[in-house]
Amino acid sequence: MKKSIILTFTASLLLMMACLKNKELVEDTPTSIFEYVWNDFDQHYGGFEQRNVDWDAVYTQFAPRVNDNISDIELWNVLTEMMDLLDDQHVAITDTKTGKGFASGKLNDELLAEREFDLELIKTSYLAEDYQTLDSDGEDFVYGTIEGENIGYIHFPNFEEDVWQLEFDNVIAELSTTDGLIVDDRNNGGGIPLSARFASGRFAQTKELAFNVQSKNGPGPNDFDEKSPYYMEPQGAQQYTKPIVALCNHSTVSAGEEFLLYLKTQEHIQIVGDSTSNALATPTFKRMLPNAWHYQLPTQLYTVADGSSPEGIGIVPDVYLRNDTLNVQAGLDEVLEFGVELLK
């Protein structure tokens, strides 16, 4: 009897240990990683059609370059070239061993656009000296008035939650005596959609449908859940409803673009600048790979009231105007100056 108890313990232990097996979906080989990533995008990415990307053709193009003998660098090049075709900054991959990262569509026009905007130039050359700065996730949320004009100015560097939100109703109150307002959304790196909605509501005059969002709910290209409508509507203690010019550029990304979709619905707001980055859909959880890389992809689709989608295009301004990088270096912000002229 006693021996049988010990035997039972031992047998149970061995049985339990033997059962400890789980099946991985991806192995640490270039072929397996490539197939896993391609399939993941195929079944989850939300904007192939809007971006005119034939993902099956992408497989045909890139799969021949992958076998289990290629190096890490070669695999990295294949995956980043494949992702870059989507021109979507929410598509990104990182090597956690080296910290090397890549975001789709970032390498060319995005980096160029970043140099078309200089916040220090605006502070020193365009704003009255009493401008204020609040913290927004380590970046400067700046507000004040344009030097020599009764025109207000606000720059949103991002839409992360921080001090600026706590003070925002006071900012609107302070600027309420101005005749017009520049809302500068250039180089806005995005953040939390709820924050973009929070801010836009302070500029709302009427309630309007801004956009619809759908999320993938199956592997097929048209498997999306029901449309969730989002409305621009007045929020906060008071709203700024005098003429507004919103400025944007190709480095206005994500929640920064969502902010513009809200603003676009209002009669008293004009949008000036370059088309935005076109990375609207929220990226999903990071996907981890066995070679210590992780990547992300958006799984949603944004559409506006007429059924069209800003994916692949970005937010198109009412007035198209870009700064010249050399002019910015010389101390001139033509887009801002144009906005001020519109408000005069």
Where on the chain is the footprint of other proteins (CB under 8 A)?
1-3, 5-6, 8-10, 12-13, 15-17, 19-26, 36, 44, 96-97, 192-194, 213-218, 223, 225, 228, 282-290, 292, 294, 299-300
Q: How far is the CB of 214 from other proteins (least distance, A)?
A: 8
Nearer to other proteins, 41 or 126 (CB): 41
> Three-state DSSP class for 138?
coil
| Tokens found for residue 110 | 């995005």
Q: How far is the CB of 219 from other proteins (least distance, A)?
A: 8
Q: How far apart are CA 219 and CA 44, in angstroms?
A: 6
Q: How far is the CB of 5 from other proteins (least distance, A)?
A: 6
Q: Which residue pairs from 65-73 have beta carbons closer than 8 angstroms and sit at least 24 positions apart in sequence?
A: 66/30, 66/31, 66/34, 67/30, 67/31, 68/29, 68/30, 68/31, 69/30, 70/30, 72/291
Q: How far apart are CA 216 and CA 230, in angstroms?
A: 18
Nearer to other proteins, 154 or 297 (CB): 297
Q: How far is the CB of 182 from other proteins (least distance, A)?
A: 29
* Cβ-Cβ contacts under 8 Å for 264 (sequence gap 6 or more): 210, 271, 315
Strands 244-248 and 180-184, bridge-based pairing? parallel
How far lies 88's CA from each of 23, 119, 183, in Å? 32, 25, 25
Nearer to other proteins, 95 or 149 (CB): 95
Q: How far is the CB of 36 from other proteins (least distance, A)?
A: 6
Nearer to other proteins, 59 or 198 (CB): 198
Nearer to other proteins, 128 or 292 (CB): 292
Note whether 50 and 309 are within 8 A (CB): yes
| Tokens found for residue 75 | 């695999």
Nearer to other proteins, 14 or 57 (CB): 14
| Tokens found for residue 20 | 């400890």
| Tokens found for residue 98 | 């080296």
First to last CA, the chain: 98
Note whether 263 and 269 are within 8 A (CB): yes
Q: How far is the CB of 70 from other proteins (least distance, A)?
A: 20
Nearer to other proteins, 37 or 246 (CB): 37
Q: How far is the CB of 46 from other proteins (least distance, A)?
A: 8
Q: How far is the CB of 75 from other proteins (least distance, A)?
A: 16
How many CB atoms sit inside 10 A of residue 200's CB? 27
Nearer to other proteins, 19 or 330 (CB): 19
